Structure 1
Amino acid sequence: MNNRHYISSSIYKQNMCSVSIPNSTLHGPCTSGTIRRLEYDQALCFVSDFWPPSASSWIDRCHSWPKPHFVNNIVKMGCLFVAIGHKIGRHEDHEWRISFSLAEQKLVNAMNHSQFLTYGLLKVFLTEIINNGLDDDRKKLSSYHMKTAVFWVIQQNTTPHWCPQNLLGCFWVCFKLILEWVYEGVCPNFFIPDNNMFLSKIDGEAQHQLFFRLYSLYEKGLAFLLHSPSIGSYIINVLHNPRLSICTDEHTLISEAEFDRNLYGEIQCYDTIYKFNIQGCMRHLHILEQMIDSPLLTQYQLLKLQKLTANVLQKTAFILHMETYTPRNKLRYRTDKISCHMLKLAAKFGCITDMMYKAIHYYKAISYMETLSIVEMIKVKLAQPYVMYKSNVDREKYTEAVEAQSWSKKMRQAVAGDIILYNRIHYIRELIPEQQSALQNKIPALFVPPLILLNMLEVLCYRHVDTMRVQSALDDLQTLVHSDQGQLIPFRDISWQILGICQQVTGNHQAALYSYQQSLRQEPFNKIHSATKIRIQKICHLNPLTT
């Protein structure tokens, strides 16, 4: 064209679709489809190293948010060009659109936790209320509009109180901004405000219908969130709790304990650092050290990094014991001392049940009295009425006990988590068959309820130091497994399995057989059924009369 070569956006998309994942379709600038029930959008872009002049005003607007170093990094990244033209232009098939998706990722990372939660709340609101029951052609608002609203509200400092207690207030401010945009028919792009993102999409009758739909929600107030399956249950609790209220200012959406439970639920998820050698672990510790020293961390990010540090220290301690094991007493003593020091540090960074790994280490080192001492200490801590484990928490007692504490102290003093045993690391020799079974089924770790492992360690240790107390510990474990209905003892496959192992090592093969059979009947969360079947076969082979 005009003696110059151009790349047609429409032809490019067609070619991209032909070489993309099979059965994909065109959706805007993307090829879209589903892989194993997971929906995806894939856009192959051209990269520009230069920040577009049309977006230069954005740089001048960034006085308070984002911070100058974020702005500099974003501008240095440049932008992308995606294959889609202006729908009402004359050159739609040839034009390309400037994309700021990389910049938007940086901006999302610059949000604090409450700002990010507000963005998530808006997306849920869009999916479950605004667009609920509408086909694709009738869906006028998208998650991109929600993200843009959050960006504008943060930058213009429309609401200064971005905190968990004001979550609904922040949501309400963003919702009113979207309502205003729909009324005016103008949604300014965050980077290029002259670009109206409603153009050709929300105008005329479609604009009027959408406005009246949103305004009817506005008149109902925040109670319209009751219609959201994901949010409604929390709002109902607020409506029926005289101590809490739904407001759009400084009042609380959910109690402190409920918020902390959700926060710790995310943090307790096992990490994805799959390094099972000393060099890999030390490299991750070095990276974590650098990140923790960053002055830019939010308190939530710092808390997550502390838990990750505890996890890596635990891995390192057990891997060090495995890789450097030696029969020479002096070297073994030195290795045990280093590992023990790492586990002490991990307990300081983590929650109550992170002390359990120190007890496991002492058991591996045949230090049974030290193991029992730590087990008793953990039992005392877990017996406190304010301790939070999954959804089990007395909200009032939790708030009374740790209300003024930092989240880091709350985690150490009042939060319990599951014991995670990575299957490439040997922790307790009696559980190695279960780890091998899970590993064969591509399960990276065993999840064990803390009370179950505490009682298991008691049974195993008392066999060597106080045989009179073995049966009492075994009775406690049996009562725990038999009586609990999944509240304190989830992962019931491994729970019945551990009961069977303890019964077997103490000589009660008939009871052990029953427990193993019960383990096979549970939901196979840990995928240990192969080990269970082998244990049953061995019992039946050694005791032919056992049924």
Structure 2
Amino acid sequence: MDTTAAPRRQVGIFSILSESVYVGMCNKLGTPQQVASRRDIVDILELFGNQHDVRGLMSGSMREGFRFSDSDVDTMFWQLNHRVIWDFSQSEYYNIHRQVMILCDSSESPAGFTLLWLPLERAGQGVLMLSIVEMNGGLYISSSKYRENACASIILDSRVHGPCSTSTERIGSYDMDHDVAHCFVSDFWPPSASSWIDRCHSWPPPHVVNDIVRNGCHFVAIGHKLGNHEDNEWRISFSQAEHKLVYSMNHTQFLTYGLMKLFLKEIINNGLGDEDKLLCSYHMKTAVFWAIQQNTLPHWCPQNLLAGFWVCFKLLLKWVYEGISPNFFIPENNMFLSKIHGQAQTSLFRRLYGLYEKGIALLLHSPSIRSSIIDVLCNPRLTVCTDEHTLISEAEFDVQLFREICTYDALTINRSELQHCMKYIQTIEQLIETLQTSDLQYCMNILHTVEQLIGSPLSQYHVISLQKHVATILQSTAFILHNMCTNTGVNKQVYIVDKMSRHMLKLAAKFGLVPDMLYIAMYYYKTLRYREALSVIEMTKVKLAQPYLMYRRVHIERYTEAVGGQSWSTKMRQAVAWDIKLINEISYISELLPEQQSSTQNKEPRLHIPPFVLLHMLEFLCSRHVDTVKAQTALDDLQFLVHHDQGQYVYGIYRDISWEILGICQQMAGNLQAALCSYQQSLGQVSFNGIQTATTQRIHDLHIPT
């Protein structure tokens, strides 16, 4: 088989085609700046999630910087008090009385797999204890038992998928499959992967190699299908190393990886059932890793994007022809061994070789890439500009950035303002000792993490995420403190907490998005300060009415004229709105408690409410105690918004809670028939917030025949 020839194209046209596809891929997969911002935001999210004795590592397409509609979310979890070692001498680095030592036994396992042995016969607790089997006179951790026990005890509505527990989880506005692998960690690099270190002459750079080796590896609960101990073996996982490798790619290499993923999804696997899909995204990633490291292409630049793709495709084709796909870290581990052989291998090779014979024209079969190629073929003299700053405007980048930030609960303040937040730590800690609540202790752990990070080197996107988390924690802490202290009845303590809560909410609103002021209004309503709440609502109403406001979409010209060129902090305070998120474990206002309880029962962690809907609701609730005419006006405004909005202010998936809130207000106003119609409308919407139980109960409580 001869795969040495390049596709038959003139060099000039081929270069222009590459540049055109590069621009198309930047528009679809992200510019360098967009990808960097996504990664940094997720990095901070992961950092704040690691506050307990269990550590987590996000991986998969989302972590790598892709935002495909079907991007997967993968997370690995491991216990800090369990450590895997490769020989007994490494135990000297641990306190064996506090940490469970687990020893690798790879003597009977295929390359890339191992048995995990408990040499000190310390079985540990929980899932570990339930997963032990006796073999060869020793105690071993069974991967199949561990996987099943972890799936059953930790994620109740999940299903076993490979080494993972898979469940459906909401990320922003999308429902995605979330694969969770409960694993073990080793602080030491596997001896079987030592050859990888010696191969790293040109890529990755030495500092990346050192970082990868220093962070060791993990072990996920799945054995080799052809091994002697499939049910008990563990696969050595290099997920942490892999995302560091992806981060070290230049943008052309990253887009080549993305192009290979699209090639797999839209061409190779198009029309195939799951059982017929022999190649997966991991094979594409591995091919890109090998192609970069083998220095097959001297210059990875926009003009060579298609050449880079062709190099990776030929390598993949060679692997299928030979039936050998070497793992990037342990080449002796043939990833095709158990699946791609015999007739399946022959059929796959014929399919791929048929594509190879078409040359780069094969990409015309990809809906994502086709237009970029046709544009050049129709106009061979086309000039393509690949400069990042011409690919996306400031406003367009801001829309993407703020959407990402809001999805992961991020917002902007500067470092001096962060230090101002930290002054609350000592006082809150003293209150925690009195109240003894784990919720507040979690908040404190987050604030302490922030305190440690303030002086460390951070990217601009790290700072944005970091600061939003601080604002969210301040808002949460304010309501948790109030709810706890209200129940104590100690007047002095209630006074101190009330003063602190108001300060924290004002501080968070000062740093945050426009609708964050509504948390202050909710607090004032909760504490019977109706006029103060209405004053805050009026200020918020003015800001939300600005024509340049960014809420999911934006009028680019007006936005640019109003805040173009200003800092992200200024933009967020003056021009950005997002949905209000009410954490279901925290009581904000009593009128929404049934909805929060119903949402919790449906395994949703929070309510998502359009800020415009919540504003009118709060205005109605407060005005009932101050001005009944104004209360009716607020109700009329809410009714008009919910009935007539075309998705501008009431995002489609939030219409369930919007109709529900209208019904609540109509019921409180005494218009039971209108409330019934609103509740029925709520039940007819997409159940995004999981409030159906509350809605059904409210209909029942109306006592109106349906």
Alignment TM-score, normalising by the size of structure 2: 0.58
Q: Structure 2 counterpart of 1:7, which letter?
A: E
Aligned match for 2:535, one of 373, 376, 381: 373
Corresponding residue for residue 591 of structure 2: 430
- How do residues 87-486 of structure 1 correspond to structure 2 at under 5 angstroms? 101-107=238-244, 110=247, 119=257, 122-134=260-272, 142-148=280-286, 151=289, 174-179=308-313, 181=315, 190-191=328-329, 210=352, 213=355, 216=358, 218-219=360-361, 225-226=366-367, 228=368, 247=384, 249-250=386-387, 256-269=394-407, 277-291=439-453, 293-295=455-457, 297-325=458-486, 327=489, 330-390=492-552, 392-486=553-647
Q: Structure 2 counterpart of 1:107, which letter?
A: K
Secondary structure of the equivalent of 1:268?
Answer: helix
Query: Could you tell me how far 1:427 is from its partner in structure 2?
Result: 0.7
Query: Could you tell me how far 1:321 is from its partner in structure 2?
Result: 0.7
1:343 & 1:350 partners in 2: Cα distance? 10
1:77 & 1:182 partners in 2: Cα distance? 26
RMSD: 5.1
1:268 & 1:426 partners in 2: Cα distance? 22
Corresponding residue for residue 73 of structure 1: 214
Corresponding residue for residue 500 of structure 1: 663
- Which range moved further: 137-146 or 472-481? 137-146
The verdict on how the C-alpha distance between 1:246 and 1:119 changes in structure 2, with shifts beyond 3 A counting, is farther
**Identity of counterpart residues, as a percentage?**
46
Secondary structure of the equivalent of 2:587?
Answer: coil
2:206 & 2:107 partners in 1: Cα distance? 38
2:246 & 2:523 partners in 1: Cα distance? 38
- Which range moved further: 249-258 or 42-51? 42-51
Contact residue 46 and residue 82 of structure 1 kept, 8 A: no
Corresponding residue for residue 23 of structure 2: none
2:178 & 2:527 partners in 1: Cα distance? 49
The verdict on how the C-alpha distance between 1:65 and 1:99 changes in structure 2, with shifts beyond 3 A counting, is same
1:377 & 1:112 partners in 2: Cα distance? 47
Corresponding residue for residue 26 of structure 1: none
The verdict on how the C-alpha distance between 1:254 and 1:134 changes in structure 2, with shifts beyond 3 A counting, is farther
Alignment TM-score, normalising by the size of structure 1: 0.72
2:621 & 2:306 partners in 1: Cα distance? 56
Corresponding residue for residue 25 of structure 1: none
Q: Structure 2 counterpart of 1:388, which letter?
A: M
The verdict on how the C-alpha distance between 1:212 and 1:385 changes in structure 2, with shifts beyond 3 A counting, is farther
The verdict on how the C-alpha distance between 1:528 and 1:160 changes in structure 2, with shifts beyond 3 A counting, is same
Aligned match for 2:674, one of 499, 502, 511: 511
Q: Structure 2 counterpart of 1:498, which letter?
A: I
- Which range moved further: 331-340 or 170-179? 170-179
Contact residue 418 and residue 450 of structure 1 kept, 8 A: yes
2:568 & 2:298 partners in 1: Cα distance? 28
Q: Structure 1 counterpart of 2:656, which letter?
A: D
CA deviation map 1:30-60 (0-9, x unaligned): 9579967969798999977544432232455
2:700 & 2:347 partners in 1: Cα distance? 72
Contact residue 471 and residue 508 of structure 2 kept, 8 A: yes
Secondary structure of the equivalent of 1:7?
Answer: coil
Query: Could you tell me how far 1:316 is from its partner in structure 2?
Result: 0.9
Q: Are 1:7 and 2:169 counterparts?
A: no
Secondary structure of the equivalent of 1:249?
Answer: coil
Q: Structure 1 counterpart of 2:687, which letter?
A: P
- Which range moved further: 509-518 or 43-52? 43-52
Query: Could you tell me how far 1:150 is from its partner in structure 2?
Result: 5.3
Query: Could you tell me how far 1:381 is from its partner in structure 2?
Result: 2.2
- Which range moved further: 247-256 or 333-342? 247-256
Structure number with greater CO (CA < 8 Å, separation at least 6) is 2
2:179 & 2:335 partners in 1: Cα distance? 23
Corresponding residue for residue 33 of structure 2: none
Query: Could you tell me how far 1:123 is from its partner in structure 2?
Result: 2.4
Corresponding residue for residue 521 of structure 1: 684
2:489 & 2:211 partners in 1: Cα distance? 54
Secondary structure of the equivalent of 1:389?
Answer: coil
Query: Could you tell me how far 1:129 is from its partner in structure 2?
Result: 2.7
Contact residue 182 and residue 220 of structure 2 kept, 8 A: no
Secondary structure of the equivalent of 2:624?
Answer: helix
Q: Are 1:57 and 2:166 counterparts?
A: no
2:500 & 2:584 partners in 1: Cα distance? 22
1:292 & 1:343 partners in 2: Cα distance? 21
Structure with greater strand share of residues: 2
Contact residue 548 and residue 559 of structure 2 kept, 8 A: yes
Query: Could you tell me how far 1:463 is from its partner in structure 2?
Result: 1.9
Query: Could you tell me how far 1:419 is from its partner in structure 2?
Result: 1.1
Query: Could you tell me how far 1:468 is from its partner in structure 2?
Result: 3.2
2:391 & 2:328 partners in 1: Cα distance? 29
Contact residue 475 and residue 504 of structure 2 kept, 8 A: yes
The verdict on how the C-alpha distance between 1:445 and 1:140 changes in structure 2, with shifts beyond 3 A counting, is closer
2:219 & 2:612 partners in 1: Cα distance? 53
- Which range moved further: 61-70 or 189-198? 189-198
Question: Mind listing any 5+ residue stretches in structure 2 that lack a counterpart?
Answer: 1-104, 116-134, 136-141, 150-160, 169-176, 377-381, 411-436
The verdict on how the C-alpha distance between 1:141 and 1:353 changes in structure 2, with shifts beyond 3 A counting, is same
Query: Could you tell me how far 1:383 is from its partner in structure 2?
Result: 2.0
Give the number of aligned pairs.
Answer: 505
2:356 & 2:564 partners in 1: Cα distance? 38
Corresponding residue for residue 40 of structure 2: none
